[in-house]
Structure 1
Amino acid sequence: MRGTYELDSTVKRQQHPPKKEKTRSITYRLPVKLVEEIETEAMNHNISHNVMARQILEKYIQWDRFADKIGMIPVPKKILDTLGIEMSAQEINEIINVIKPVIKDTVLFIKGKYDLKRCIETLEDYMRASGMKSDHRIEGELHHFIIQHELGSNWSVFTEQLLQEIFKEFLPDSKMKCQTTESTVIATIALGGDFNEHEY
């Protein structure tokens, strides 16, 4: 289904509470300019310096340290936007066929095992690292995965088909429904009220 989309106000967001972990205080000696940049960024985001430093380190641990090893390179959004304009249905299928084994290898390398939860979590890590907006909401047994890519309608088609392939691999008897616009994809599938991609 393409066009406008709307989720019921009773739909709740999937909570991602931070795991309770032991902490310890450490001291680093850093260049003044680097500290000032961190302080400025923290102020712009209305968070403490400590939270900003933690976010930077977590992003590195969760994604950046793997990027070179798995062959990830940053691509300007404008290039993807331009490529998407002329992308045909056949080319979308070909890209998906190429990217599926890459996703599997990436999940195995980063998470140590390949299953639906780890696959979804890895895709969320990637979107967060690349600045793409995403959300996960729950409505009873239904789970809504919302992705805002802002790259045009062909990339919405690509995203929809890729998610179809991923869910079909792990849940061949389940049906995913999709709502799309030129910038947003909402994939809806029944995974059960207790499904949490961060618990495995």
Structure 2
Amino acid sequence: MVKKLPNSVSTSTTVRIPNHIYDIIEFEASSNDSTVSTVINNILRKHASWDRFVGDIGFMYVQKPLVRALFEKVSNKDLAQMSDTIGYARIRDAVLFIDGKVDVTGITYVIKLWLTTSNIPIRVIETDESIEFIVKHNLGNKWSIYFSTILKKLFGELKIASIEEDIEDHTVEITFSLKSKKKKK
């Protein structure tokens, strides 16, 4: 399980970096109006939270146009089966492996890691009553269906239902109710 520490906790250390790598990092920092320290911390954060687990949980880097083309070739019946079994199982395994338990926090954390690491913009809006995922992926309608099916199955395991869903060719918006059910006496 990965322990998520507050951002204010830090350690100062000295690291030897090859000159050509430092030059790349320094160029990226100046190009993004950032600091070398910020770029290095972002690299380390990404490694500690996602990259070190990628191979163990069965993920790999693939070009987005290839993913879109492959999804378009899949029948709706096969897509439903892949979402229900392969997609759900892989993400559930990732949540357990990275966060240690399947709950709203773990699911949200791993989904955000997965998509941000894949350069897919995601916005999560959480209130006391709901959690909304807004994803702009540009991978086609079938990927939208695939992704929303995985989320619905993960949250369904927690007995949390989707209350609103908008699936488009380039985006997914899905909201889940977090209202606790009152126990009957």
- Give the structure-1-normalised TM-score: 0.80
- Show the counterpart of 1:114: 102
In the TM superposition, residue 139 of structure 1 has moved relative to its aligned partner by 5.8
Contact 1:164–1:176 under 8 Å retained in 2:
no
In the TM superposition, residue 58 of structure 1 has moved relative to its aligned partner by 0.2
In the TM superposition, residue 178 of structure 1 has moved relative to its aligned partner by 0.4
- Equivalences, count: 175
User: Which amino acid is the alignment partner of residue 101 of structure 1?
Assistant: A
- Show the counterpart of 2:163: 176
In the TM superposition, residue 41 of structure 1 has moved relative to its aligned partner by 1.0
Contact 1:81–1:152 under 8 Å retained in 2:
yes
- Show the counterpart of 1:146: 134
- Show the counterpart of 1:35: 22
- Show the counterpart of 2:11: 24
- Choose which of 83, 87, 112 in structure 2 pairs with 1:99: 87
Q: Which runs of 5+ in 2 are unaligned?
A: 181-185
Contact 2:128–2:178 under 8 Å retained in 1:
no
User: Which amino acid is the alignment partner of residue 56 of structure 1?
Assistant: I
Higher relative contact order (CA 8 A, sep 6+): 1
- Choose which of 84, 98, 106 in structure 1 pairs with 2:71: 84
Query: Equivalent residue of 1:93, what SS?
Result: helix
Q: Deviations over 1:18-42 (max 9, x none)?
A: 8244322211121111000001111
In the TM superposition, residue 144 of structure 1 has moved relative to its aligned partner by 1.7
User: Which amino acid is the alignment partner of residue 26 of structure 2?
Assistant: E
1:123 and 2:95 are equivalent in the alignment: no
How has the CA–CA distance of structure 1 residues 146 and 22 changed in structure 2, closer, same or farther, with 3 Å as cutoff? same
Q: Deviations over 1:42-76 (max 9, x none)?
A: 12222111101000000000000111222221111
User: Which amino acid is the alignment partner of residue 49 of structure 1?
Assistant: V
Query: Equivalent residue of 1:66, what SS?
Result: coil
Q: Which runs of 5+ in 1 are unaligned?
A: 1-17, 194-200
Runs of 4+ in structure 1 off by over 3 angstroms are: none
- Show the counterpart of 2:151: 163
The two structures, once aligned, show a CA RMSD in angstroms of 2.0
Contact 1:133–1:149 under 8 Å retained in 2:
yes
Contact 1:143–1:190 under 8 Å retained in 2:
yes
